[in-house]
Amino acid sequence: MPFCYSGFMNKLYRSRFDRVMAGVCGGVASYFEIDSTVVRLLFVFLWLFSGIVPLTIAYFLAILIIPLERTSCRNPTPSGVGLGV
């Protein structure tokens, strides 16, 4: 995952490109500069062992509260798509 320096403080956004459902885990991983797989595994572990309902509600609240990433220097085209590969 390339790091984009925009000259501003690092803010928490939902990721547009590193997402499985709504980009919450990808955005949290980007904010803390760690691998998104680690955040997803931690989320699933906590989801299973803390009770399904509280973390599900927290996830949907995060979808509503955390804004979607506005711009990114990441390439939105998945590798190999549209490249004649």
Cross-strand partners of 14 = 68
pLDDT at 43: 93
Record the pTM: 0.68
12 φ/ψ angles, rounded to the nearest 5 degrees: -85, 120
- The Cα 4–Cα 51 span in angstroms is 36
Q: Is residue 31 within 8 Å of 48, Cβ to Cβ? A: no
Question: Distance of CA 33 to CAs 18, 30, 39, Å?
Answer: 13, 5, 11
For residue 69, name the pLDDT band (cuts at 50, 70, 90). Answer: confident
Q: What is the DSSP letter of 14?
A: B
Q: Which two tokens stand for residue 59?
A: 């996830």
- Per-residue pLDDT tens over the stretch 73-85: 555 555 545 444 4
